[in-house]
Amino acid sequence: MSNTKDFIIEQIKNKISEHKADITIKNTGKVISTSDGIVKISGLSEVAMSEMIEFKNEEKVVYGVVLNMEEDNVGAIILGDYSKIKEGDEVIASGKILQVPVGEEMVGRVVNPLGEAIDGKSSIKTDKSYPIEKIAPGVIKRQSVNEPVQTGIKAIDAMIPIGRGQRELIIGDRQIGKTAVAIDTIINQKGQNMKCIYVAIGQKKSKIASIVSKLEKNSAMDYTTVILAGASDPASLLYIAPYSGTALAEYFLDKGEDVLIVYDDLSKHAVAYREISLLLRRPPGREAYPGDVFYLHSRLLERSCRLNKENGGGSITALPIIETQAGDVSAYIPTNVISITDGQIYLEPDLFYKGNRPAVNAGLSVSRVGSSAQIKAMKKVAGKMRLEAAQYRELAAFAQFGSDLDQDTKAKLERGKRLNEILKQDQYSPLLVAKQVLIFYALINGFIDDVEVENVMKFEEGLHQYADMAGKKVLDQISNGEFNEELEAEMKALISDYKATLQ
């Protein structure tokens, strides 16, 4: 036993000798007033914008961030519990811009925007921290997007492909599957060499609990960090949450890794920022948002990027989520974020209630850079498929009126119906790209035309199972990104073989 005791004492001695007492002159101020998480401070003569400040308190140190600097006072937000801060309290400037701890230890954890664990497991010890605000990488460091992010969702991977380093907005009304798209994408990143960060802004904690358990069940927490600023947290934490998530993403980016970050959702973030701005008495603009909401989101999303080889070659792919009110995409925040991102996935209530889930509206959804990032085989089938889908949409609206249709039109309508069936997909069941290519190939080459519409889903399921058993080689070849006549013939053979087993 004495051995362990000596060991402990030795450890303590080492620790103490490591400790360096910092004795620098610090700037101080006094709290003039405090209300709703906002403090007005006098003094703090040399404080900088967005500098971290400490409120001296008996038990716990509470931090704040300077957001306003006026002639004779400083306005700041309090990060955390503000009920114990009183008028006349002493405030000390830390001399540091707001930083959050980052590191590998964060992976698999649920943390708050300040990097403190809130999942009930051990506290997180990291030796690095990154500033939450950073200027986005410049033109010289960047490279165009050329590698795909496989979401595992057929409708998205085929028609609205996303590339590594892209910013793709997910937009739609409440309760329509926006989060589901993002979570499915995270689940599908298993083994794809991707770190995932899910930033929940103003979400119900029950929802996050169920998401985390779903991720754990699919062993997606091995590469995912959840940053949670819940609905009951003060607006200041909601405000810094996406920035602190991006700071963590940049840590992995600097190591040359690929990161996927989901901001769920930015409309609540804008509302939190509006609250802070109004309390700080900044003048309100349209919809009472302050003048710099555009900059609020543009500086955040601009930090997503794909770096070139000389700068590590990492990437940050961002999937911001925006909630619209009754399908109104022309409100202030939706239009802002649409114009910042490289495309959007528009989820439509009508489709959702008709049972087309995920309710992706292929007409209004676009991806401005993604198609250059698709694998070759997918590019081949998706092009044709997109055309079929567009033709079907046009004809379907038309065909409601007349019953007399020529053969050609009828065939197109029938195929369109089957395409619709194929695009339906259950939640938490992402699909391999190779299998996606296979089913789309079957469709555009007329293999499914003689299957009843009701049976298409069953047919598809069977095809995937058959391919798992008999077509491993073909699937591998598709995944490798090659596409030639030989492979095409093999795919044809595989599908016909499968069809033969059905009869």
Q: Closest separation between CB of residue 113 and other proteins, Å?
A: 20
Q: Are 47 and 69 in contact (CB under 8 A)?
A: yes
Dist CA 371 CA 429 (whole Å):
23
The DSSP element (H or E) to which 99 belongs, if any, is strand 99-102
Q: Where are the alpha helices (DSSP H) in 257-363?
A: 266-279, 293-301, 332-340, 349-354
Other C-beta atoms lying within 10 Å of the C-beta of residue 466: 18
For residue 393, indicate whether it is catalytic.
no
Q: Are 41 and 30 in contact (CB under 8 A)?
A: yes
Q: Closest separation between CB of residue 482 and other proteins, Å?
A: 52
Q: Closest separation between CB of residue 45 and other proteins, Å?
A: 4
Q: Closest separation between CB of residue 5 and other proteins, Å?
A: 17
Q: Are 296 and 270 in contact (CB under 8 A)?
A: yes
Using the minimum distance from each CB to other proteins, give the nearer residue, 29 or 161.
Answer: 29
Contact residues: other proteins, CB under 8 A: 12, 15-16, 18-19, 21-29, 43-46, 72, 92, 125
Using the minimum distance from each CB to other proteins, give the nearer residue, 43 or 131.
Answer: 43
Exposure letters 158-167 (e unless 16+ CB within 10 A, then b): bbbbbbbbbb
Using the minimum distance from each CB to other proteins, give the nearer residue, 44 or 276.
Answer: 44
Dist CA 275 CA 229 (whole Å):
15
Dist CA 171 CA 140 (whole Å):
31
- φ and ψ at residue 320, rounded to 5 degrees: -70, 150
DSSP code, position 190: T
Q: What tokens does 166 get? A: 């892209």
Using the minimum distance from each CB to other proteins, give the nearer residue, 25 or 140.
Answer: 25
Dist CA 65 CA 405 (whole Å):
67
Using the minimum distance from each CB to other proteins, give the nearer residue, 124 or 399.
Answer: 124
Q: Which of 282, 299, 368, 386 is catalytic?
A: 368
Q: Closest separation between CB of residue 72 and other proteins, Å?
A: 7
Q: Closest separation between CB of residue 98 and other proteins, Å?
A: 19
Dist CA 474 CA 468 (whole Å):
10
Q: Which residues are catalytic?
A: 368
